[in-house]
Amino acid sequence: MSKEFFSIAAGIGTKNNKGEWLEVFYPAPQHKPNPELVEAVAAVTGYAGGNQVIELDSATCHALEELFLQRNLLEQTLVLSSLETSSNPRVLVILETDATLNNTPEAYLKLHLLSHRLVKPHSINLEGIFPLLPNVAWTSEGAIDLEELPHRQLQARSQGRVLDVQSVDKFPRMTNYVVPKGVRIADTARVRLGAYIGKGTTVMHEGFVNFNAGTEGKNMVEGRISAGIWVGEGSDLGGGCSTMGTLSGGNNIVVSIGNNCLIGANAGINIPLGDRCTIEAGLYLTAGSKVTVLDKDKKPVGTVKAITLANQSDLMFWRNSQSGAIECLAKKTAFELNEELHAHN
């Protein structure tokens, strides 16, 4: 058996009437678990290597609970104790390698690893994830297969209840699975499972964070962080601004925002920014935008495509109010977040 493993997690989920997985909740996933632990788990479950999904019964849950307790893994012990008495589908997923996804439980485990801050966006293989995430109704009674939804709605009404359908989507809201420490999220429906929300980040009501995207440390998010976008610490995304990810027509450009940047309200970017950059409110900067570069005296020195300025620090972009041209000037001061406003005590 290999001496290195990518991840292991026990979870509980939902299946439809056909026995197909709709979602899985992993309260305490492990990244790069101790190989000796995996070997001990294999002795209990019959795991023989590779990436494997093992459905659990109560007896196996109890045996794993005792195994984790012996190794003083209290969080995992509590998980297995809860799973032991449940009648819902229970599962153990062991990923020996970070290979292409094969099934829904594996897909949900990798999304959990991101939201638990165990791995960062772009650091793991999410190839093939979309077909493995069924489009379901996320309701006040959990995930429901869309074909089964009308019957469940009627059943609820006949019992004097209203089944609240909160969304119809492949991705659930992150906070129904993971609530990272040290964050503020004003509207939890706007942060998907698989988002990485750094400690100290505030996501306001109009902010949005997609899967495989996120923030590092203290940030203010009042705009949209699309799939694949990474935001450095101390940056502020103004109200209604947007970041174009690779799923939104960004081609193969991996867009990121450096530390202490300011993206103005209703602005947008399609190029990676270095540190301490500012985008004027309302300015959308695409990779092909023509930008007039200014010297320290604000004199034009040339015109380039915005992509040629990618990853450079201390730049300020605005639109000339007279000519309409996009201009770029090197800044002399850095933008800083208001420490009192963004404290999460």
Instruction: Specify whether 222 is catalytic.
Output: yes
Looking at the DSSP bridge assignments, the partners of residue 315 are 330
Q: Residue 61 has which token pair?
A: 């849950």
Cβ distance 94 to 52 under 8 Å?
yes
Which candidate in 65, 84, 96, 222 is catalytic? 222
Q: What are phi and psi of 99, to 5 degrees?
A: -90, 175
Instruction: Characterise 281 by phi-psi region: left (phi > 0), alpha (psi -120 to 50), beta (else).
Output: beta
Rounded CA separation 139/87 (Å): 20
- 3 state SS for 277-343: CEECCCCEECCCCEEEEECCCCCEEEEEEHHHHCCCCCEEEEECCCCCCEEEEECCCCCCCCCCCCC
> Exposed, middle or buried by CB within 10 Å (0-12, 13-18, 19+), for 3?
exposed
Active site residues: 222
